[in-house]
Structure 1
Amino acid sequence: MIKAFVVEQERLRQIDDFHQRPEEVVWLDLLSPTKDEEIAVENLLAVGVPTREEMEEIEISSRLYVEDGNYFMTATLPAHAEGDERVMAPVTFVLANNRLITIRYHEPRAFQTFPMRAEKVSTGCIDGETILVGLLEAVVDRLADIIEGAGRGIDEISVNIFQSREKHAASRDRDFKKMLQQIGRKEELTSNLRDSLASLQRLSGFLGHAASTDKSSKDVRARIKTLSRDVQSLADHLSFLQQKITFLLDATLGMISIEQAGIIKIFSVAAVVFLPPTLVASNYGMNFDVMPELHWLLGYPFAIGMMFLSGLVPYLYFKRRGWL
């Protein structure tokens, strides 16, 4: 599918068929393009459209390059990132003859919100370069929202770890298992976001160099520099979140160890408490003919009392020492 946009009074407006007004088109957005659509765009702008396999290359030279005076830039962007499940895929931006071409195979939120906003209000979109900068700013804003949501989720996990209200061991075990799963999902999310920010850092640096080379307007260069600083600040905040995730993982594993140690302590204390009564019962269970208490009327209550007291004394001692 191809979405074509023209500029009218510094506002974007989508048109139905870019063949009708080819000279006025400033942005062509290719979403999962077919081979015929790629050929149509290549014939219109005389620019080779990268294939999906080329977009997925991880080498910087394959993601950021200049060809025949046209700038090709690829970044990894998230989509469907409201929860921990998201789609990470590359998006290619091509600046060719003051026009912007985007090639993508998924639906990042910025590609929906930015055209709607640029159609309603004037955002300074006059050519492909200004549209690209505005689109990248929307992408960074979206990443900031995702990182902020991830931070809130990490704070909730922290509260659940250190302020657990469960009293039953079985319930706590289930909670710890759930927490480990949540921590794992948050770690995967932040790792993917870090990869995305790293690709945007390289892209913004490359775009800034291109703007300086082509002597773009001062406003555009300033916006690109601000964009680069925003990406760096988000990367720093994401590093903090990753450190916090590592701390929460260690804390959760420590809590599990404490729970296991508590269970072992209970069994150890129980074994010590029941050891003296077992000794008394074993003594009176021996089959000797001559036992003073054997024919005594109070022999049985005496043995029961001895077993009770021998178990109660260690229990009270452990309780007083704070071991229970």
Structure 2
Amino acid sequence: MITAFATRGERLHQLDLSNHPLHEAIWIDLEAPTQAEEDAVEAALRIDIPTREDMQEIEVSSRIYREDGVLFLTAQVIASPDAREAEIGPVTFAVQPDRLVTVHYHHPRSLTYFADWAARHDMALETGLDAALGLLEAIVDRLADILEGETRQHELLAKAIFAAHRPQGKTDTLSAVLQRIGRAEAMNGKVNESLATVLRLLTYLTSTPEVSDGPCLHARQMPIALAQLQDLRSLREVAAAQADKVRFLLDATLGVINIRQSDVIKIFSVVAFVFLPPTLIASIYGMNFVHMPELQWVWGYPMALVLMVISAVVPWVLFKWKKWL
């Protein structure tokens, strides 16, 4: 699908491609493009759109390069559809001096947020790098929102874990808590990966001097990129702290599971110890020896029952006195 945007005044608006050619757009977004759509964009703009396989390469030389006056940047961006697990995928920014082309095969909301924001607010979108910086800022803001949401989820998880061992605690089972911790770890890993790739792009942009082969940051754009770099470093610190929190929650959950198992084993041990003396007495008096004086007593059987009760109560009282129960 091809979506094209142009500037009207200082705001962004979507172009009707049936009435306007592609070269009038400042930003062209290709979402899961077909081969025919790729060919149309390549013919109109005279650029080589990278394939899906090229976008998934992890080498720096495949994610950041210049070709025929076009700067190609690829970052991993998170998309979190409703009622589905968040996914992460590459988004390639093909930056020309006068326009930006984005290519992706999933649906990151940050791109939609940027289009909506730029349509309602004045922005200085004069070059392809202006549009790229605006999109990167929207991606960083989206990652910050995800981290904030994950922080709240971690607090709820902590309450569920530390209430799980109490009889009146939450109804969340520990297995469900473990699954939620696994999802939190997966999400944090995706956020960290996205932050790392965007940080790499901005570091390249801010550290590359002006070149003749393709666009580069100008003086008015540099403060924007440096501010985004600072935000990214702060978010990476938050993501690292959240990774430590997830590990703590996992250790705490396993500790609660061990406590529950220990309580069960303790109960079985106490029951076995309590009933051991009565079992011993019952075994002795169940031998039915001929020369066993108590067999002839009228109160022999009641005496054996009383001894069994006493031998069970005494260990119980001893355990309570020692505070082992």
TM-score, normalised to structure 2, is 0.93
Question: Is the deviation greater in 259-268 or in 77-86?
Answer: 77-86
Query: CA separation of 1:212/1:259 partners in 2, compared to 1, >3 Å: closer, same or farther?
Result: farther
User: Displacement of 1:253 after TM fit?
Assistant: 1.5
Distance in structure 2 (CA, Å) of the matches to 1:212 and 1:230: 24
Distance in structure 1 (CA, Å) of the matches to 2:60 and 2:53: 14
User: Displacement of 1:92 after TM fit?
Assistant: 0.2
Which SS does the other structure have where 1:294 is aligned? helix
**What residue number does 1:136 align with?**
136
**What residue number does 1:313 align with?**
314
Distance in structure 2 (CA, Å) of the matches to 1:43 and 1:182: 48
Q: Is the 8 A contact 1:4 1:18 kept in 2?
A: no
**What residue number does 2:248 align with?**
247
Query: CA separation of 1:216/1:190 partners in 2, compared to 1, >3 Å: closer, same or farther?
Result: closer
Distance in structure 2 (CA, Å) of the matches to 1:155 and 1:237: 15
Distance in structure 1 (CA, Å) of the matches to 2:38 and 2:287: 96
**What residue number does 1:202 align with?**
200
User: Displacement of 1:19 after TM fit?
Assistant: 6.9
Distance in structure 2 (CA, Å) of the matches to 1:155 and 1:84: 22
Q: Is the 8 A contact 1:84 1:185 kept in 2?
A: no
Q: Report the aligned-residue RMSD.
A: 2.2
User: Displacement of 1:288 after TM fit?
Assistant: 1.7
Q: Is the 8 A contact 1:81 1:146 kept in 2?
A: no
Query: CA separation of 1:137/1:13 partners in 2, compared to 1, >3 Å: closer, same or farther?
Result: same
Equivalent pairs counted in the alignment come to: 322
1:167-215 superposed Cα distances (whole Å, 9 cap, x missing partner): 39xx98x722111111111111111111111111111112223575566
Q: Is the 8 A contact 1:2 1:37 kept in 2?
A: yes
User: Displacement of 1:316 after TM fit?
Assistant: 0.4
Query: CA separation of 1:225/1:41 partners in 2, compared to 1, >3 Å: closer, same or farther?
Result: same
1:21-47 superposed Cα distances (whole Å, 9 cap, x missing partner): 445321111111111211221122211
**What residue number does 2:274 align with?**
273
**What residue number does 2:259 align with?**
258
Question: Is the deviation greater in 216-225 or in 183-192?
Answer: 216-225
**What residue number does 2:304 align with?**
303
Query: CA separation of 1:224/1:255 partners in 2, compared to 1, >3 Å: closer, same or farther?
Result: same
Q: 2:186 aligns with which of 148, 168, 188?
A: 188
Distance in structure 1 (CA, Å) of the matches to 2:320 and 2:252: 28
Distance in structure 2 (CA, Å) of the matches to 1:288 and 1:183: 63
AA aligned opposite 1:28: I
AA aligned opposite 2:220: D
Query: CA separation of 1:19/1:127 partners in 2, compared to 1, >3 Å: closer, same or farther?
Result: farther
1:95-144 superposed Cα distances (whole Å, 9 cap, x missing partner): 11321010111110111111111111212222221111111111111111
Distance in structure 2 (CA, Å) of the matches to 1:271 and 1:94: 73
User: Displacement of 1:166 after TM fit?
Assistant: 4.5
Q: Is the 8 A contact 2:4 2:29 kept in 1?
A: yes
**Alignment gaps of 5+ in structure 1:** none
**What residue number does 1:126 align with?**
126
